[in-house]
Structure 1
Amino acid sequence: MRCYWGEEDVWFYFEVDAEGWVTRQVELQGPELTPIAAASLDEWQQAHDAGRLDEYNGRFGITAELPVSEWEGHDPEQLTAEEFEEVWGPARRQIASRPHRPLGPADAS
């Protein structure tokens, strides 16, 4: 599914499981549809377990924290799995290919 947030000029693309939880999420911003996030819940959990959550979030972002059934003010458009993959693949490759600045002491919380 996908939806648009006009305030930030961002398209959100979501892959959801049978219970409505977001398993993968892509965010594309501006008229150029620049990828700003391409996060996977499975990868997020692995990063969490490995103590690398800040690094993962800083690079790929996070997925929505509520199931779709609890969203308010969103009217998402349904997409096929193939349509999601057409957005996921290029966005993920573009984000992964960007130079990533390691977190330094000033970034620690």
Structure 2
Amino acid sequence: MTRWFRSYWAEEDTWFYFEADADGWVTRQVEIQGPLQRPIAAASLAEWEAAQQAGALAEYEATFGITAEVPVHQWDAHEPQDLTAGEFETVWLTARAACQARARARSTRGT
């Protein structure tokens, strides 16, 4: 069963939004930071694995970041707040668009 939730890390002033599978592995992750709620990551485990196999991992991580590397039940000191699939999807789509726009801006400046 898929689960959607978010957790806040005050030390980094960051909201982490997660989609996790039945075993607790994060399949998609969004990070939103600071008082302006700036999306800084919107990574998919399946996309990350495909990028790794294609030899494009550095580019993927520079654009979208990475997902958590351990199941959520192993995390300490996080207080998950449940989300609906729709709530997660709204945050996901907004963060993906922001990450893609930043990547385009980087590539434009680099040429």
TM over 0.5: yes
Equivalents in 2 of 1:82, 1:46: separation in Å? 25
Equivalents in 2 of 1:75, 1:11: separation in Å? 11
Residue 50 of structure 1 corresponds to: 54
Deviation at 1:61, TM superposition (A): 0.4
Residue 33 of structure 1 corresponds to: 37
Higher-helix-fraction structure: 2
Normalising by structure 1, what TM-score?
A: 0.89
Uncovered stretches (5+) of structure 1, i.e. residues with no partner: 102-109
Deviation at 1:59, TM superposition (A): 1.2
Q: Is 1:100 matched up with 2:106?
A: yes
User: Equivalent of 1:70, from 70, 74, 78?
Assistant: 74
Equivalents in 2 of 1:57, 1:37: separation in Å? 9
Structure 1 residue identity aligned to 2:100: A
Deviation at 1:100, TM superposition (A): 3.2
SS at match of 2:106: coil
State the Cα deviation string for residues 61-85 of structure 1 (Å, max 9, x = none). Answer: 0000011111111111111111100
The alignment-based identity, stated in percent, is: 60
Uncovered stretches (5+) of structure 2, i.e. residues with no partner: none
Normalising by structure 2, what TM-score?
A: 0.87
User: Equivalent of 2:23, from 19, 26, 32?
Assistant: 19
| RMSD across aligned positions (CA) | 0.9
**Stretches (4+) displaced over 6 A:** none
Aligned residues: 101
Structure 2 residue identity aligned to 1:21: W
Higher-strand-fraction structure: 2
Equivalents in 2 of 1:42, 1:73: separation in Å? 27
Deviation at 1:19, TM superposition (A): 1.0
Deviation at 1:27, TM superposition (A): 0.3
Equivalents in 1 of 2:15, 2:58: separation in Å? 24
